[in-house]
Amino acid sequence: MFKYVKHTNFPVNIRKKDLRMAKYLVTQFGGSNGELAAALRYFSQKFNMPDDYGKALLNDIATEELGHCEMIATMVHQLTKDATKKEMEEAGLGSHYAEHGKGVYPTDANGVPFTVTYFAVTGDVLADISEDMAAEQKARAVYENLIDLTEDEDVLRVLLFLRQREVVHFNRFKELYEYYQKKGY
């Protein structure tokens, strides 16, 4: 069961338009190491966890990742909402505008649409959790790269929060991996 709270996990209030950053940032929504891939990965893998502890952990993190999708989409929207068609084209977002207007659509920074081939569900508990730890590390690395690409304090605050959540999730998955390894899975 899900309960929607009508505010983001962390405040998102971007005040300055920055189409260049929006183009880069969308990768954390629909790219291979982004939040949507993480949410669907963990949600799908939870069904094969051998006990309620693992199922609950993967479900909890999957749900939080959906919240992160909302934060990223909000940031992209706020960074582009006042842009003109000409500015969109000049920022390399003309093809995005042609397909989606100023709508937020899950792609990577190159405009490649989201695909479920970004993640796997093997049915092997330790293999899946290993993938989850790697996914969190890759997302952390992308957040660090994005942090390097902006000086906007409004954007940085949110990116730093999201980066830290990747570290927390990695640690939770590591604990789960060790727990199942001791149980002989």
Using one digit for the tens of pLDDT, what is the confidence trace for 60-85?
A: 999 999 999 999 999 999 999 999 99
- Stretch 125-134: mean pLDDT: 98
CB atoms under 10 Å from CB of 168, counted, come to 12
Write out the DSSP string of 12-77.
Answer: ----S--HHHHHHHTHHHHSTTSHHHHHHHHHHHGGG-SSHHHHHHHHHHHHHHHHHHHHHHHHHH
In Å, how far are 24, 30, 135, 158, 161 from 144, measured between CA atoms? 12, 17, 14, 12, 11
Q: What is the pLDDT of residue 132?
A: 98
Confidence (pTM): 0.95
Q: What is the pLDDT of residue 2?
A: 66
Contact 27, 104 (CB under 8 A): no
Query: What ranges do the domains of the chain cover?
Result: 19-182
Residue 3 pLDDT greater than 80, yes or no:
no
The SS3 call for residue 169 is: helix
- Stretch 141-160: mean pLDDT: 98
Q: Which fold does the domain 19-182 belong to in CATH?
A: Ferritin (1.20.1260)
Residue 44 pLDDT greater than 80, yes or no:
yes
- Stretch 88-100: mean pLDDT: 95
Residue 170 pLDDT level (bands cut at 50, 70, 90):
very high
Distance CA 66, CA 125 (A): 22
Q: What is the pLDDT of residue 61?
A: 98
